[in-house]
């Protein structure tokens, strides 16, 4: 008998997705070649918005603490510190942001208790092989 062997493709890897849902939480693991590549874990009743990008309106500028509050249409206004604002930080936050100014922001940290979420104007879109920073 004459048998032919088909050569295996190089760079082919195995990818598995595991999901587990209970009343309290959802967990998803992505495995590549039997190694954990990504893990997502979310509890019911909590919305994870880290990484989301919004167009917001500056509500308050507080030069005393070098910060501002931005309305993005959620229950609480988002908080931004001067180091997360694009521009020359030596000018002060009052020169960088004005009340009713429209800005593009990305959520850096979820809201906690009575505090709103922390945001940044340094937007990034991460991918598998690159991180796009459009501004």
Cα distances (angstroms) measured from residue 99 to each of 33, 49, 62, 82: 51, 24, 10, 15
Do residues 32 and 14 make contact, with C-beta atoms less than 8 angstroms apart?
yes
pLDDT tens-digit map of 83-117: 999 877 788 899 999 999 999 999 998 888 888 89
C-alpha–C-alpha distance, residues 35 and 93, integer Å: 45
Global confidence as pTM? 0.66
Domain count, the chain: 2
CATH of residue 117:
2.40.50.140
* Structural domain of 26: 14-45
65 pLDDT more than 70: yes
Is residue 1 assigned to a domain?
A: no
Is residue 105 assigned to a domain?
A: yes
Q: Which residue has the tokens 């009343």?
A: 23
Cα angle 22-28-128, degrees, rounded to a multiple of 5: 160
pLDDT of residue 8: 53
Strands, E assignment, 15-129? 15-21, 25-32, 35-43, 53-62, 67-71, 78-81, 102-109, 118-120, 125-126
pLDDT tens-digit map of 32-59: 888 888 888 777 776 678 889 999 999 9
135 pLDDT more than 90: no
From the list 49, 95, 90, 47, the residue with the least C-alpha distance to 68 is: 95
């Amino acid at each position: 008998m004459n048998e032919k062997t088909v050569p295996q493709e190089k760079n082919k890897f195995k990818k598995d997705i595991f999901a587990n849902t209970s009343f309290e939480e959802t967990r998803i693991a992505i495995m590549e070649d039997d190694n954990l590549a990504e893990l997502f874990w979310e509890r019911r009743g909590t919305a994870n918005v880290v990484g989301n990008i919004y167009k917001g309106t500056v509500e308050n500028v507080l030069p005393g603490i070098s910060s501002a509050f931005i309305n993005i249409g959620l229950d609480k206004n988002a908080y931004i510190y001067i180091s997360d604002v694009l521009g020359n930080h030596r000018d002060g936050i009052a020169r960088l942001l004005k009340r009713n100014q429209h800005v593009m922001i990305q959520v850096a940290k979820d809201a906690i208790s009575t505090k709103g979420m922390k945001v940044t104007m340094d937007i990034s879109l991460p991918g598998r092989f690159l991180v796009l920073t459009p501004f």
